[in-house]
């Protein structure tokens, strides 16, 4: 599964923000 680094960073940043806001459980 090849994901470009920019996309991975965006997803990771969004996931961190959502976890910080309590919208998603920490994985």
DSSP per residue, the chain: ----HHHHHHHHHHHHHHHHHTSS---
CA distance 22 to 4: 27
Q: Look at residue 10 in the predicted model and tell me its pLDDT.
A: 92
Q: What is the pLDDT of residue 23?
A: 65
Q: Quick one: pLDDT at residue 25?
A: 61
- The model's pLDDT over 1-27, given as tens digits with 9 standing for 90+, comes to 577 889 989 988 988 877 777 765 655
| pTM of the shown model | 0.47
């Amino acid at each position: 599964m090849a994901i470009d680094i920019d996309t991975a960073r965006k997803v990771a940043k969004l996931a961190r923000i959502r976890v910080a806001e309590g919208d998603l459980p920490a994985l």
